[in-house]
């Protein structure tokens, strides 16, 4: 085991940056920042606050390692990535504890994320050998023409705090499998998971300089600008808000980096069938995931019926049955704290805005007093397009139910949005599945399922939700360039 079962002892965390295969207890700034347990507000670790000079050191390290790493056979790269996945699974319990402590999600869910994250590495391990080229028939019969794929070079990966393990393996795992080297910038709120994964990568045989981790919380603008402007880094992959994504695109202009942007836009659910018990719970227990939308579009007739039942109706404004708040290590908890404190303020503002404009509160609706970042699991109905939550991600345990009447209305409502990450459809009508799925202007559609992401699947949106694809063979191809080779074969 990587750590002991007493992992909740802060002295057991890895609290150093990682550059060129060296664990650094200090940074160029000689500053540190605190990692906070969102369940109780306590400091669980102090991490080096890195700056632009550290980014430069990391990129130079990645450049030095690139030529040798790209020349390793794809089969060998795949073996290393697969061993990395195996070590993650072998240490899933301990990694889950780290994740719960710094992110707040329930422990069972955190362990699930570790398995989910390892799944990306498992797929990419095989995909390393499947980066095929093409033989191209030539107009000039004396030529032989080929197109091959090669790693783009050293890359930067910026990952968010809501999936601190899966976003690393989805990005950095694909880059490393493709033959690239990586400068990884984890979210300042959740660096411990990233450092633990880097340690396991080292144990799996990732050579020094292939994976570098730059940690920062307060110097985000300085570090982000340095990553964007560094001429060594040939690509930047970012997951985060649309506004930050646009800024990073501007900052990358002079270095002409290839970009992948997974930006704002949670996923809306369109219920064409009767609401089942538990749908309210499903809407709030993943409030900080862009993979499940807190917006639910429900047929007006079904919504009226749901109001009469205890779980979905106005008969109870207290807790949602079966949805327990609390520390992620407590038994039965399905909703942990919000990872960042300002998330509570934002959730309250969204709820108050909706109520002031005519929404009805069925459950919850306010912060939970105490030392942690807790907000009551909340269900709102009678939502309209004029409310703040229609245009902004709530990113909190708040399920917002919007009524609709017709299929055409659903499609029009969905497609007028500026964002287009994904959608879910719940229906028994097989013809409707195809009509609606094909007309929705989103990058992904789930039909009668809540799972639309996995190692083998493409993940990405359209419009202001970004561009580029993560996951599957497409995710590895994002870290490659296509080279044409034309060989003259003259007559004997």
Q: In the structure encoding, which two tokens stand for residue 10, read together? A: 């802060």
pLDDT for res 317: 57
Q: Is 148 exposed, middle or buried (0-12, 13-18, 19+ CB in 10 A)?
A: middle
Lowest-pLDDT range of 4-13, 220-229, 433-442, 461-470:
4-13
Q: What is the pLDDT of residues 183-224, one digit of tens each?
A: 999 999 999 999 999 999 999 999 999 999 999 999 999 999
For the stretch 90-129, pLDDT in tens is: 999 999 999 999 999 999 999 999 999 999 999 999 999 9
Write down how long the chain is. Answer: 492
Q: Report pLDDT for 456.
A: 97
pLDDT above 90: residue 316 = no
Backbone angle region of 334, left / alpha / beta, with phi > 0 → left and psi within -120 to 50 → alpha: alpha
Residue predicted with more confidence, 491 or 136: 136
407 secondary structure, DSSP code:
H
pLDDT category of residue 13 using cuts at 50, 70 and 90: confident
Tell me if domain 10-263+467-482 and domain 268-454 are identical in fold: no
pLDDT digits (tens, 9 = 90+) for 250-307: 999 999 999 999 998 878 899 887 655 444 444 444 456 655 556 788 877 666 655 5
Asked if residues 292 and 267 have their Cβ atoms less than 8 Å apart, the reply is yes
DSSP annotation string for 18-62: EETTEEESS-TT-EEEEEE-TTT--EEEEEEE--HHHHHHHHHHH
Half-sphere exposure of residue 491: CA atoms within 13 angstroms, side-chain side: 2
SS3 state of residue 130? coil
pLDDT for 391: 83
- Three-state DSSP string of 134-187: EEECCCCCCEEEEEEEEECCCEEEECCCCCCCHHHHHHHHHHHHHCCCEEEECC
The answer to whether domain 268-454 has CATH 3.40.50.720 is no
Per-domain boundaries in the chain = 10-263+467-482, 268-454
Q: What is the pLDDT of residues 43-59, one digit of tens each?
A: 999 999 999 999 999 99
Tell me, rounded to whole angstroms, the distance of Cα 206 from its chain centroid. Answer: 23
Which position has the higher pLDDT, 432 or 284? 432
Q: What is the mean pLDDT of the chain?
A: 90
pTM: 0.93
Residue with the larger pLDDT of the pair 163 and 271:
163
Lowest mean pLDDT among 2-6, 81-85, 173-177, 195-199: 2-6
Residue 320 is given by DSSP the state P
Residues 6+ apart with CB under 8 A from 380: 351, 354, 355, 359, 360, 361, 362, 365, 398, 399, 400, 401
CA 360 – CA 380 distance, rounded (Å): 6
Q: In angstroms, rounded to a whole number, what is the distance separating the alpha carbons of residues 68 and 206?
A: 12
Rounded to an integer, the average pLDDT of 385-414 is: 91
Kindly give, in sequence order, each residue whose CB lies less than 8 Å from that of residue 164, ignoring residues fewer than 6 positions away.
Answer: 99, 102, 103, 186, 187, 190, 193, 194
Question: Which H or E run contains 133?
Answer: none
**Residue 64's closest CA among 236, 208, 199, 257?**
208
- Helix (H/G/I), strand (E/B), else coil: 484: strand
Any idea which fold 10-263+467-482 has?
Aldehyde Dehydrogenase; Chain A, domain 1 (3.40.605)
Instruction: Tokens for 244, please give them.
Output: 């930050």
Do residues 227 and 183 make contact, with C-beta atoms less than 8 angstroms apart?
yes
In whole angstroms, what is the distance from residue 16 CA to residue 122 CA? 27
How would you label 358-383 residue by residue, b for 16+ Cβ within 10 Å and e otherwise? ebebbbbbebeeeebbbbbbbbbbbb
Backbone torsion region of residue 468, taken as left when φ is above 0, otherwise alpha when ψ lies between -120 and 50, otherwise beta? left
Does the pLDDT at position 425 exceed 50? yes
Q: What percent of the chain has pLDDT over 90?
A: 79
At residue 37, the pLDDT reads: 95
Q: What is the mean pLDDT of residues 323-329?
A: 91
pLDDT of residue 99: 96
């Amino acid at each position: 085991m990587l750590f002991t079962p007493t992992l909740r002892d802060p002295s057991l965390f890895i609290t150093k940056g990682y550059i060129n295969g060296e664990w650094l207890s200090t940074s160029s700034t000689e500053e540190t920042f605190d990692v906070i347990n969102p369940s109780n507000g306590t400091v669980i670790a102090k991490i080096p606050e890195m700056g632009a000079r550290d980014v430069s050191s990391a990129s130079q390290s990645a450049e030095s390692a690139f030529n040798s790493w790209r020349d390793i056979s794809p089969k060998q790269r795949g073996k290393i990535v697969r061993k990395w996945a195996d070590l993650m699974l072998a240490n899933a319990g301990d990694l889950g504890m780290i994740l719960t402590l710094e992110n707040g999600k329930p422990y069972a869910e955190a362990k699930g994320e570790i398995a989910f994250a390892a799944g990306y590495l498992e797929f990419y391990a095989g995909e390393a050998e499947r980066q095929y080229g093409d033989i191209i028939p030539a107009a000039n019969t004396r030529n032989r023409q080929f197109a091959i794929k090669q790693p783009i070079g050293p890359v930067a990966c910026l990952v968010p705090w809501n999936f601190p393990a899966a976003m690393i393996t989805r990005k950095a795992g694909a880059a490393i499998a493709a033959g690239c080297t990586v400068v990884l910038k984890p979210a300042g709120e959740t660096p411990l998971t990233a450092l633990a994964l880097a340690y396991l990568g080292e144990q799996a045989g990732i050579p020094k300089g292939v994976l570098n981790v730059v940690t920062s919380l307060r110097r985000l603008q300085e570090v982000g600008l340095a990553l964007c402007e560094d001429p060594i880094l040939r690509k930047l992959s970012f997951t985060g808000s649309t506004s930050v994504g646009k800024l990073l695109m501007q900052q990358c202009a002079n270095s002409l980096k290839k970009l992948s942007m997974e930006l704002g836009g949670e996923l809306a659910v369109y219920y064409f069938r009767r609401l089942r018990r538990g749908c309210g719970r499903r809407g709030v227990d993943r409030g900080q995931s862009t993979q499940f939308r807190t917006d639910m579009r429900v047929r007006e007739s079904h919504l009226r019926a749901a109001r009469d039942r205890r779980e979905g109706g106005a008969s109870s404004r207290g807790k949602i049955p079966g949805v327990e708040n609390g520390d992620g290590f407590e038994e039965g908890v399905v909703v942990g704290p919000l990872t960042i404190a300002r998330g509570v303020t934002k959730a309250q503002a969204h709820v108050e805005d909706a109520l002031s404009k005519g929404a009805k509160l069925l459950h919850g609706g306010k912060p939970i007093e105490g030392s942690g970042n807790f907000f009551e699991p909340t269900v709102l109905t009678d939502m309209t397009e004029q409310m703040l939550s229609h245009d902004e991600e709530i990113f909190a345990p708040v399920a917002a139910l919007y009524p609709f009447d017709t299929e055409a209305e659903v499609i029009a409502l969905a497609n007028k949005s500026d964002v287009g990450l994904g959608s879910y459809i719940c229906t028994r009508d097989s013809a409707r599945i195809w009509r609606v799925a094909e007309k929705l202007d989103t990058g992904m559609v789930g039909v009668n399922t809540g799972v639309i992401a996995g190692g083998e699947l493409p993940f990405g949106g359209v419009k202001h939700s970004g561009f580029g694809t993560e996951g599957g063979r497409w995710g590895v191809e994002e870290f490659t360039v296509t080279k044409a080779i034309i060989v003259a074969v003259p007559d004997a």
